[in-house]
Amino acid sequence: MTTSRMTRAPRGQARPDAERAISASEVPSGHAVMTQAGDENFPVAIGLLGRRQKQALLAIYGVARLIDDVGDEAGGDRDELLDWVDAELDRAYAGATPEHPAMQALATEVWELGLPEAPFRRLVRANRQDQTVSRYETFGDLLAYCELSAAPVGELVLHVFSAGSPDRIALSDLVCAGLQVTEHIQDVREDYTRGRVYMPREDLARFACTESDLASGAVTPEKRELIEFEVGRARALLAEGSPLAKLLAPRPRAAIAGFVAGGRATLDAIEKAGWDVWSATPRRTHGAFARRLPGALVGR
């Protein structure tokens, strides 16, 4: 990968003029990003999708993974690196050639499918927010964060299938929020060690839990009640968004149903573990996923 030069821009606005070189060692390699894109829980795992659609979804997820890795894992000045990401998006949408392989793959899809730019910019905003915000007072605050960090990917998936109407996007936002909340529940302890707490402070107070309790392996009744409560919220979000499947053609329906079934199976695993996400991270099984898939396919 070559290097890019740019000056620090105002937050949310990239500038292509140069002041500091961005080293290849400061951002994830194209191979690392695309390997994650192929391995993680994404609709490309659904065998019914065609090659062309898989390629587009991989490009979208590769860039989403790149943005998250820059915001979460990169060393050095992450705000400046996110400026570089914004400049890469500028290049992709201006018809120029981006420097990172993941961005190059996206540029092809931008022009072939007309993918909207705004969702990618929201992903960058979410990662800028991560640099300064590590706690959320209310569940509403957390959902607002999900609008930046999770909903854009669902919206882009719909555009790949030419199904990005406002009503479908609204339902997709609910599904994405449910999946994001599920991930936060699974990773309570890990997030705390990284200096972040996604359990809303109002909920911690409601169940008499402290932030330090989240780091402890001891599972108290209060902590179980907290997790059970948050699981209920995640299930409700998935239930509200699940009718999206009925509004889609068979192939995108399979992709969205895979998301919903996977989220529900993960929540089932947390319940089966007695709401204990500290002793080990509850993971869905293939059997649980298979049991959940038929209902998700009919939007139930």
Q: 35-67 as b/e, with b when 16 or more CB fall inside 10 Å?
A: ebbeeeebbbebeebeeebbbbbbbbbbbbbbb
CB-CB contact of 220 with 213 (8 Å)? yes
Q: CA 119 → CA 27, 169, 233, distances in Å?
A: 21, 12, 25
Cβ-Cβ contacts under 8 Å for 140 (sequence gap 6 or more): none
Residue recorded with tokens 């959902």: 143
Q: Is the pLDDT of residue 12 over 60?
A: no
Highest mean pLDDT among 17-21, 35-39, 178-182: 178-182
Backbone angles phi, psi at 20, to 5 degrees: -130, 140
What pLDDT, on the 0 to 100 scale, is given for residue 207?
Answer: 97
CA distance 6 to 2: 13
CA distance 81 to 133: 18
Lowest mean pLDDT among 53-62, 139-148, 160-169, 192-201: 53-62
Mean of the pLDDT values across residues 267-278?
96
Confidence of residue 74 (pLDDT cuts 50, 70, 90): confident
CA distance 282 to 94: 44
Length of the chain in terms of residues written: 300
Confidence of residue 168 (pLDDT cuts 50, 70, 90): very high
CA distance 206 to 212: 15
Q: Is the pLDDT of residue 265 over 90?
A: yes
CB-CB contact of 211 with 192 (8 Å)? yes
Backbone angles phi, psi at 6, to 5 degrees: -165, 155
The more confidently predicted of residues 194 and 15 is 194
CA distance 106 to 100: 10
Confidence of residue 26 (pLDDT cuts 50, 70, 90): low
Query: Which tokens go with 101?
Result: 């392989």
Beta-bridge partner residues of 22: 4
What would the pLDDT profile of 228-246 be if each residue is shown by its tens digit? 999 999 999 999 999 999 9
Q: Which of 182, 180, 188 is nearest to 209 (CA)?
A: 188
Q: Is the pLDDT of residue 44 over 70?
A: no
How many DSSP H helices and E strands does the chain contain? 14, 2
Mean of the pLDDT values across residues 16-35?
48
Confidence of residue 188 (pLDDT cuts 50, 70, 90): very high
pTM to 2 decimal places? 0.85
Residue recorded with tokens 């068979």: 250
What pLDDT, on the 0 to 100 scale, is given for residue 34?
Answer: 47
Q: Is the pLDDT of residue 30 over 60?
A: no
The more confidently predicted of residues 8 and 249 is 249
Mean of the pLDDT values across residues 95-114?
92
**Three-class secondary structure of residue 145 per DSSP:** helix
CA distance 234 to 238: 6
The more confidently predicted of residues 45 and 273 is 273
Q: CA 156 → CA 22, 55, 60, 122, 143, distances in Å?
A: 28, 13, 7, 12, 19
Mean of the pLDDT values across residues 60-86?
90
CB-CB contact of 186 with 176 (8 Å)? no
Q: What sign for the dihedral angle of Cα 66, 72, 73, 74?
A: positive
CA distance 234 to 236: 5
